[in-house]
Amino acid sequence: MAVIEKNNYPFHRVCGEYISNEVKPFLESIDCFPHALQPASIDKLTVTAPSGFSLQARLNMGAFGISRYAFDDFLKTKAIEAGATVIEGEQINEVQKTKEGFMCKSLTQKFYSGKLVIGAQGKRSMIDKYLNRSFVQQRSPYIGVKYHIRTEHPHDLIALHNFQDGYCGISKVENNTYCLCYLTTRENLRKHGTIAKMEEAVLYKNPFLKKLFTTSEFLYTTPEVINEISFSPKSLSDHQVVFCGDSAGMIAPLCGNGMAMAIHSAKLLSESIIQHKDTFDENKILKMYQMKWNAHFKHRLRIGRTVQKLFGRNSTTEISLRLLSYFPFLLSWIISKTHGEIVVSYQGTFHSSHTRPGSSDH
C-alpha cells in the first residue's frame, strides 16, 4: 500500500487539534493512540457570545488535544511500521481507470498504479477539479486561521468564542501549548484588509478573545491560513475513486470532530475493502461503504450544517446561547448528535487488533 502526500511531514495545518474520544478505543486497538506524545485530556466546554455571555457544559465523551504537526507525523511512522510506503512531496493531479486497476500521475510526471485508489485529499484539492466534482464549481465563503500560543487557560477546557461572522476555539495540545484556531468569512477579511486588522476590529469585540489575543505568547510570527472551506454535501465516489475523510464530506469545525469522522470513515472503508479483498471490485466495495457511511454520518453532517448557521452571527449566537442556557438538555442533545458513538476495534477473523487493515498489497 502507498500513501501519497503533497507536503513533507511534519507540517503545520489549520485545525482546532481537538480530537473526539469516540476514536480513542479504536486508535488504541491498532496501537495508533499517541500516548507517548502526552496529548491533553479535555472534558469541559465553554461557549461565549460576542457580548461576553457564556455557557458551560461537560463533555461526556471528552477529547484529546494534540497538534497536527506531531500527530500526523506519528501516524506516518505507524503507517510505515505497518508496511505502507509513504511518498512525500508528490501531488497527484490525474487519476485514471485502467484494465488492471488505476493509474495516478503526479505534478512531477511520475506514475503510480494500484488496484484501488482511495481519495483522502481533504476538503478541496486540485484532484477534485480534475475529477470535475460538483462542489468545486461553487466558491465557499469561509477561511480558517490557526496559531499556537502559550497562555493561561484550563488544560481540560475547550472554549468556543463567537464573534461577528465566525468563531474561535482554544484548547490545549502537547508541550504546554494551546491551539487557537478560528473560522470566519473571506468577506470579513476583505472588509478589514489584513488578518491583524480584522482580529482587532472584529474578534476583539468578544472580551474573552481580546484578552487571549493581547495577553498570550504567539509561537509563530504568521498564522497558518486556508480558504475555500465548504460544508456542501459531496459524493462518496467519482470516476470509481472512493473518498474518505473530508473529501467524502466535511462537518462544521464548530462540532469539533472532523478528524474523528475522518478516522472512522477510513475504518469503515478499510472494512469494506478487506471484505472484498479477493476481487477488489470497486462497485461492491463502494456499495458496502456507502451503506455504512450513510448510517454513521449523513444525519450528523446535516445537523452540523444547521449548527453552523446558528452561530457566527451576533444576534443568532446570543439568542441561541441564551435559549440553551434555559434548556441545557438541548446543548447536550446537539453535542451528542454531532458526535458519534465510540468507534470499536476491528472485529471478526480479518479484523483482529493485530491485523493491519492497510497491509494488503494495495
Ligand X SMILES: Cc1cc2nc3c(=O)[nH]c(=O)nc-3n(C[C@H](O)[C@H](O)[C@H](O)COP(=O)(O)OP(=O)(O)OC[C@H]3O[C@@H](n4cnc5c(N)ncnc54)[C@H](O)[C@@H]3O)c2cc1C
Q: Given the rule CB under 6 A, which residues bind ligand X? A: 4-7, 14-19, 91-92, 120-122, 125-127, 144, 181, 183, 229, 245-247, 250, 253, 256-260, 262
Contact 155, 63 (CB under 8 A): no
Three-class DSSP labels, 174-211: CCCCEEEEEEEEHHHHHHHCCHHHHHHHCHHHCHHHHH
Choose among 63, 77, 98: nearest CA to 9.
77
Pairing assessment for the beta strands 178-185 and 217-218 based on DSSP bridges: unpaired
Smallest CA-to-CA distance from 72 within 155, 7, 142, 130 is with 7
Q: Which residues contact 302 (CB under 8 A, 6 or more apart)?
A: none
* CB of 5 or CB of 271, closer to ligand X: 5
Q: How far is the CB of 334 from ligand X (least distance, A)?
A: 16
Pick the closest to residue 14 from 246, 302, 206 (CA basis).
246
146 or 276: CB nearest ligand X: 146
Supply 229's cell numbers: 472551506
Give min distance, CB of 326 to ligand X, in A.
28
Tell me the Ramachandran region of residue 203: left when phi exceeds 0, alpha when psi lies from -120 to 50, beta otherwise.
Answer: alpha
How far is residue 345's CA from residue 353's CA, in Å, rounded to a whole number?
Answer: 7
Residue 90 or residue 200: which is nearer to ligand X going by CB?
90
